[in-house]
Chains A and B, each alone.
Chain A
């Protein structure tokens, strides 16, 4: 009976941690995707300052959430996204449209990949 209680407690912990993991990752995925996409849209509309602001907001948000996400996500993935977001932030201030858009796509792809980890896959 004691073991069964221990198993139930562990099950509760596992469910709690995986749910927290899902909610936190989903939240940061949405926030980051919104920032980066808005930045791209604004850049394409020619509003470079606003685009740069959004990119800077994305960068700041990522830096703030890195530590929490490291509990759930591989550090390598977090660093990769961090680098892409920083590059996108820098490029948002420049005039190289193609490079900015390419980096934005990479950024969105990496963020989506981070989110993929939380999708149920058995392959």
Chain B
């Protein structure tokens, strides 16, 4: 029993290491070769867990080899277009200049209903509004609307936006996040000054966010509200 527990813990760390080394991607964003490796890792990892007689080293080595392959292939794919096409395929233009390319749809085995569903997922409910639609290698559809159907931007309306920056969390659950402070070029004493001005301390703050213009929002802990 203890052996199963230890094996599970070890395999958990191996898989976490594998996924971390593969990079942050969601299943839907994976390239075909990444998906294959993820499926293989899960299968291989299960073998030493299901069969206690099997040395855990076999599973670990197989996972390591998959990671090595994945990293080397992704490096080659980055340097060579041919390798990239071979491993991941290429994007296919489904709608070009507002016209559906039936041959392209046949090539990717996509039905009209599939296309309409993918368009809906892109908030496009009228196919006649689409100017370009490209099926990406990860299976997502990128859609470009005809100019007359594009939503108006502030530039179109000749509105100059107010200065705004990304709000980063500077205090989370009563703890200062040094990475955010350095990203915003803020000193901890500035935060203490703001908090003392409001009669609060760091521990009493649930969340404090700040942007690069020093605009901030503070949410106190539940019993402080």
Contact = CB atoms under 8 A, between A and B. Distances in A.
A74 B21 contact: no
Interface stretch (A6-14, A45-53, A58-66, A104-112): A6-14
Interface in A1-25: 3-4, 6-7, 10-11, 13-14, 17-18, 21
B55 A14 contact: no
Contacts of B72: 7
Interface of A is mostly: helix
A3 B71 contact: yes
Interface stretch (B60-68, B96-104, B187-195): B60-68
B75 to A, nearest CB: 6
B21 A14 contact: no
B68 A10 contact: yes
Contacts of A74: 53-55
Contacts of B74: 3
B57 A7 contact: no
Contacts of B64: 10, 13-14
Interface in A44-103: 70-76
A82 to B, nearest CB: 13
Interface string B44-66: 00000000111101000100110
Contact of B55 (A6, A13, A71): A71
Most-contacted residue by chain B among A4, A10, A18, A71 (CB, 10 A): A10
Nearest to A10: B64
A40 B164 CA distance: 87
Nearest to A14: B64
Contact of B57 (A3, A4, A6, A17): A17
Contacts of A14: 61, 64-65, 68
Contacts of B21: 3, 6-7
B150 to A, nearest CB: 38
A10 B75 contact: no
B21 to A, nearest CB: 6
B68 A11 contact: yes
B211 to A, nearest CB: 30
B61 A18 contact: yes
B55 A4 contact: no
A48 B68 CA distance: 54
Contacts of A13: 64
Contacts of A73: 55
Most-contacted residue by chain B among A6, A7, A18, A75 (CB, 10 A): A7
Contacts of B52: 75
**A-B complex: 3 closest residue pairs judged by Cβ atoms:** A75-B53, A7-B71, A76-B53
15 contacts: A3-B71, A4-B71, A6-B21, A7-B68, A7-B71, A10-B68, A14-B61, A14-B65, A14-B68, A71-B55, A71-B57, A72-B55, A73-B55, A74-B55, A76-B53
Interface of B: 21, 23, 52-55, 57, 61, 64-65, 67-68, 71-72, 74-75
Given A10-B64, A72-B57, 9 more contacts: A3-B23, A7-B71, A13-B64, A14-B61, A14-B68, A17-B61, A71-B57, A75-B53, A75-B55
